[in-house]
């Protein structure tokens, strides 16, 4: 049994549509697939209905773009088994989606001022099926113009670097407080899971976030190396967290070789997740 609990569609920052993602997952013999688009549950009903017609179980999810303000680093919080369209999620995430869209437009304006031949209309067309423009869409437009051959690489760093030497098109976005993301997911009947803790080094925050209602941690992920996996397992054991795994598939915008099913959740973990879901719903 293959269980992939982290996957995106073009509702956020995957180049493939819901139907295309499900087709790839089915081709890869995935049995259970969580659709976890960034900061939205739009498209989940469509995915669930389409999955049912294909014999593919779709778990409704979300990945909230959060921030650990205490430790000054980003954090992504997965919500698994959320109720699509729940007001708690929409109230929290809508302002962030609007801020991201405004920031993306400003990024394109900065690129135009820097001499890049690019237009907002061509960038937004690449994102027309989703909730807004991401940096990946901007890079895709630049690839089409011949400025680079890859989404991630030297040009991406030059344009969007967050370091001391900011990229020429860098525009800051204020992400959501991680504990607010955890609470909103719980209110929506979902199980909050810390995504790819190795990517942003979120391990030191786990104790605080468990007290805030965190219920799981992503162990199997393309960006978790062996050391990060072991740290995640140890924290799961220490704090009785559910362990999960997923491909974090983004299609053409994927910065790894991951495809649906390439990282998965063990069946015993999945059963434990469903039990935890029922406990969360009984207490909220």
Mean pLDDT to the nearest integer, 110-136: 96
Instruction: Please report, rounded to a whole number, the percentage of residues in the chain having pLDDT higher than 70.
Output: 100
What the chain holds in terms of domains, given with CATH numbers, is 3-94+174-283 (3.20.20.140), 104-160 (no CATH)
Phi, psi of 31 (to 5 degrees): -95, -35
β-strand pairing of 73-80 with 191-194: antiparallel
pLDDT in tens, 190-239: 999 999 999 999 999 999 999 999 999 999 999 999 999 999 999 999 99
Mean pLDDT to the nearest integer, 124-142: 96
| Residues 6+ away with beta carbon under 8 Å from 215 | 191, 192, 193, 241, 242, 276, 280
Instruction: Give 163 or 225, the one with higher predicted confidence.
Output: 225
pLDDT in tens, 20-72: 999 999 999 999 999 999 999 999 999 999 999 999 999 999 999 999 999 99
Residue 235 · residue 208 · CB < 8 Å: no
CA-CA distance, 245 to 203, in Å (whole number)? Answer: 16
CA-CA distance, 128 to 25, in Å (whole number)? Answer: 23
Task: Give the chain's mean pLDDT.
Answer: 97
pTM of the complete model: 0.96
CA-CA distance, 253 to 173, in Å (whole number)? Answer: 20
First to last CA, the chain: 31
pLDDT in tens, 69-119: 999 999 999 999 999 999 999 999 999 999 999 999 999 999 999 999 999
Q: Is 233 helix (H, G, I), strand (E, B) or coil?
A: helix
Say if residue 284's pLDDT is above 80: no
Confidence of residue 257 (pLDDT cuts 50, 70, 90): confident
């Amino acid at each position: 049994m293959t269980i992939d609990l982290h996957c995106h569609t073009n509702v956020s920052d995957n180049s493939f549509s819901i139907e295309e993602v499900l087709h790839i997952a089915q081709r890869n013999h995935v049995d259970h697939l969580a659709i976890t688009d960034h900061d939205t549950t739009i498209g989940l009903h469509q995915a669930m209905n389409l999955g049912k017609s294909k014999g593919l179980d779709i778990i409704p999810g979300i990945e909230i773009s959060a921030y650990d303000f205490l430790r000054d680093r980003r954090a992504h919080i997965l919500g698994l088994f959320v109720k699509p369209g729940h007001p708690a999620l929409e109230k929290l995430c809508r302002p962030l989606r609007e801020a991201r869209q405004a920031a993306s437009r400003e990024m394109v304006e900065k690129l135009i001022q820097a001499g890049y031949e690019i237009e907002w209309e061509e960038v937004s067309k690449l994102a027309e099926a989703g909730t807004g423009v991401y940096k990946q869409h901007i890079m895709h437009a630049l690839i089409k113009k011949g400025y680079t051959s890859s989404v991630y690489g030297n040009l991406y760093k030059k344009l969007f670097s967050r370091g001391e030497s900011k990229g020429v098109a860098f525009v800051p976005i204020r992400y959501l407080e991680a504990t607010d993301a955890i609470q909103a997911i719980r209110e929506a009947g979902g199980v909050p899971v810390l995504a790819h803790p190795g990517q942003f080094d979120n391990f030191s925050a786990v104790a605080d976030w468990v007290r805030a209602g965190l219920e799981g941690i992503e162990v199997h992920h393309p960006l978790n190396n062996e050391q990060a996996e072991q740290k995640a397992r140890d924290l799961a054991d220490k704090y009785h967290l559910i362990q999960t795994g997923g491909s974090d598939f983004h299609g053409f915008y994927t910065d790894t070789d991951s495809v649906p099913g390439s990282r998965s959740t063990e069946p015993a973990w999945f059963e434990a997740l469903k039990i935890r879901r029922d406990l969360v719903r009984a207490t909220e």
